[in-house]
Amino acid sequence: MEKRRPTFEPLLHALDLFGDRWSLLILQSVFLRVRRYDDIRARLGISPTTLSARLRALVDAEVLEQAPYRTPNRTRMEYRITTRGLPLWQLLVSIWFWEKTWVPGRAAELPRLVHLDCGTAVTPELACTECATPVRPREIGAVRNQTAPLSLTSNRPSGGSLAGKGITDPLVLFHTALDIMGDRWSIALLTFAFMGVNRFSGFQRELAIGPGVLAGRLRKLVRVGVLTVGRRGDPTAYRLTAKGLALFPSLAFVLHWCQADFPPDDPSILTVRHRGPNHPFVPVLRCPRCGGLLGRDNTRIDPPTVGGNA
């Protein structure tokens, strides 16, 4: 068996899969039970070439699987989430609630998530599986046990704008969140920011990125308000804002998906721990009302209420 090289490959693999707005929207569609090729295409207004390529990548990664169904004339394929893909529900819900909370006007447009066990519309909170308590970003420590810069080799364009395609489903139109979470460089930069990197040179050490691309991405992250630069008397330091810190659940689920993918007998390339109690951190979504865990099977998606609370 081929020995794994000590690189940051699990994160690379995840970024390659999810650092792309179309892949996230295709996964979201299948989770919402829009499973057939033509239905996904109609929902997203995506080109057949792009849709086929992304579906193939998601099937190759064993996140989706194909299942045949009969039409009057022939057998066609629909797509289902695999066991391996199921935890990605929490990633998508985290992205959805970040947008709902932080992008003006979106609270009223986006649907509500109802926890069936307690019957309330909730904003999920991030919790630690091991001790079942809600966690904040500062309580989680991630250490990268690797010194070579992370190289994002495949530079696939992340897909064109959804504007002007007649798309009306508010869950498809995640302009701001997908601008960040659908872009692999942005996810990587924010991950390192959470790990304490705060200078241009620091990001360059961690990431094999050209100075022009790095400067452009940092500018974008400052413009959308998730990073700030030059505060507290230090003109070159980047910091996560409250809006940026709120992306932590989404990033935690991306990282966890990488970790879960990694064989347990391999010394971990990235260690993520709950600092206080000092145990491995496995993220879950929890209901702030009753404390129960939130999953696809015990929640319902309701149309938004006027005023858009919860």
What does the binding site for Zn ion look like in residue numbers (CB under 5 A)?
115, 118, 128, 130-131, 274, 287, 289-290, 292
Identity of the residue, 107 or 128, whose beta carbon is nearer to Zn ion in the bound complex = 128
State the nearest-atom distance from the C-beta of 286 to Zn ion, in Å. 9
| Long-range pairs, 3-6, Cβ under 8 A, ≥24 | 4/263, 4/266, 6/145, 6/146, 6/269
State the nearest-atom distance from the C-beta of 133 to Zn ion, in Å. 6
Residue 13's CB is within 10 A of a number of other CB atoms, namely: 15
Q: Which residues lie across from 76 on neighbouring strands? A: 69
In the structure encoding, which two tokens stand for residue 290, read together?
Answer: 């009753």
State the nearest-atom distance from the C-beta of 128 to Zn ion, in Å. 3
Q: What phi and psi values does residue 285 have, to the nearest 5 degrees?
A: -100, 135
Identity of the residue, 123 or 204, whose beta carbon is nearer to Zn ion in the bound complex = 123
- Crossing angle for the helix pair 21-31 and 37-44, nearest 10 degrees? 120
Task: For residue 35, give the 3-state DSSP assignment.
Answer: coil
Identity of the residue, 32 or 290, whose beta carbon is nearer to Zn ion in the bound complex = 290
State the nearest-atom distance from the C-beta of 101 to Zn ion, in Å. 18
User: Which residues make Cβ contacts (< 8 Å) with residue 202, sequence separation at least 6?
Assistant: 192
Identity of the residue, 42 or 290, whose beta carbon is nearer to Zn ion in the bound complex = 290
Identity of the residue, 84 or 289, whose beta carbon is nearer to Zn ion in the bound complex = 289
State the nearest-atom distance from the C-beta of 269 to Zn ion, in Å. 21
- Scan for tokens 């400067």, then name that residue: 215
